[in-house]
Structure 1
Amino acid sequence: MTSDLKNGDLLFVTAKETGLSGAINNVTQKQKNASFDHIGILEKQGKSFFVLHAAPKGGSQKQSLKEFLKDQANDGQKVVLYRIKPEFQNTIPKAIKKANAMIGKPYNFNYILDENSYYCSDFIERSFRDDRIFKLEPMTFIDPKTGKTNTFWEEFYQKKNLKVPEGELGCNPNGLAASEKIERVKEL
């Protein structure tokens, strides 16, 4: 199974219908057939594979691919493999070096960009930032069905005494998956 995996492959995790995952997806889903709520980057070291990612449990971390896949399966979520297109493959060594340098930082539970903590797509976007593989875009928390701020997010930020960061720059797994510089390979 790991024979066709490459250094720098991106692992997108499918979204759940409810809770934080559902709320992320409600305001960010771009394609009907793909809705993601988490992402990591694959690092190949000899014959071993690791996933570099930022998660609520454990913050910015390096996890064995086997453990990462087990965690997603236990949550009933699937993993879809995307690959940086050939003409941008040269950006991978630098991105992996950058991702490794961010390991150990805490998870960003506010989803408002800062330099001391990261959320999943922020971690990946920063890894490739120098080569502009992904773009930061104005964030939206508006429910497309109602045209109003999604209730989950309204309450989420209210509890933190923060205003909803509508329009502030950020990123999300669905936005990253839509990059023209990457392509979907297969479900793992």
Structure 2
Amino acid sequence: MKRTLLYIGMLFSAISCGRNGDRLQTGDLLFQAGKNSDMTGAITAATGSDGRLNFSHVGIAVAANGADSVLEATTDGGVRLTALPEFLGRSAKIGGRPAVVAMRLKDTTGVTAAVRRAKKLRGLPYDYAFRPGNGAYYCSELVWESYLREDGSPVFPARPMNFRAADGTLPQFWTELFARRGEAVPEGVPGTNPNDMAREAALEEVFRWF
């Protein structure tokens, strides 16, 4: 029985990582289309575009000889390290496979330092305020703050944030979230999102799981 369970575990690992899993490198960015939820729906409504896969989340790969993990900022754990199979399991599915795309910086000079900076932020809370410099992080903010050029400037630019859907309406999720916080929606405040980040010319696709 134990041997059967071991074989099943090995098979699951192979399916999860796919035929390209052995090419994952520390510092690769994993862009994820998340399962439907109020937050992922609000994110993709505000940042998605027709004809493209809409990413609602991004994490940083930490490759470790078959025990790969993802450094990410999540609503249920803040900045944390997550096992890769768990990360993939939370994804939406395309053809039964995780809707996740791995991308890599074309210039990997500063990637080791970027991952080191990101690891130092483990344990910090999720940034529900979506504002920079408050000691909390949402997923793409973690990447934005960690991936820096030699002069200290961010590799990925911050742009005025948009929380509105394509028709100009504000999803109820955002209205209720910021009402509970007693804050104005940070419309126009500089920030990042996974969709914009995935389209940056500094990145190239390495592989996808679907």
Q: TM-score range by the shorter chain?
A: 0.7 to 0.9
- The yes-or-no answer on 1:157 pairing with 2:178 is yes
Could you tell me which runs of 5 or more consecutive residues in structure 2 were left unpaired when the two chains were aligned. 1-18
- The yes-or-no answer on 1:62 pairing with 2:81 is yes
Q: Are the aligned partners of 2:178 and 2:185 in contact in 1 as well (CA < 8 Å)? A: yes
Other-structure match for 1:186: 207
> Which amino acid in the other structure matches residue 141 of structure 1?
F
- The yes-or-no answer on 1:134 pairing with 2:156 is yes
From the superposition, tell whether residues 92 and 131 of structure 1 become closer, same or farther in structure 2 (CA, over 3 Å).
farther
Distance 2:34 2:78 in 1: 19
From the superposition, tell whether residues 141 and 73 of structure 1 become closer, same or farther in structure 2 (CA, over 3 Å).
closer
Match for residue 92 of structure 1 among 103, 111, 119? 111
Other-structure match for 2:126: 107
From the superposition, tell whether residues 45 and 58 of structure 1 become closer, same or farther in structure 2 (CA, over 3 Å).
same
Distance 1:13 1:47 in 2: 20
Match for residue 144 of structure 1 among 150, 166, 169? 166
Partner SS for 2:30 = strand
Mapping 1:1-150, distance limit 5 Å: 1=19, 2-16=21-35, 18-30=37-49, 32-72=51-91, 78-85=99-106, 88-129=107-148, 130=152, 132-145=154-167, 147-150=168-171
Which string of whole-angstrom CA distances, capped at 9 and with x for unpartnered residues, describes residues 26-77 of structure 1?
1111463120111101112355322111111111011222232233369x96
CA RMSD of aligned residues (A): 2.2
Distance 2:31 2:123 in 1: 21
From the superposition, tell whether residues 102 and 34 of structure 1 become closer, same or farther in structure 2 (CA, over 3 Å).
same
Could you tell me which runs of 5 or more consecutive residues in structure 1 were left unpaired when the two chains were aligned. none
Other-structure match for 2:6: none
Which string of whole-angstrom CA distances, capped at 9 and with x for unpartnered residues, describes residues 85-135 of structure 1?
1xx111210111001111111111222223311110101111103353211
TM-score (norm 2): 0.79
Number of equivalences: 184
Other-structure match for 1:174: 195
Percent of aligned positions with the same letter in both sequences?
Answer: 32
Tell which structure's C-alpha radius of gyration is larger: 2
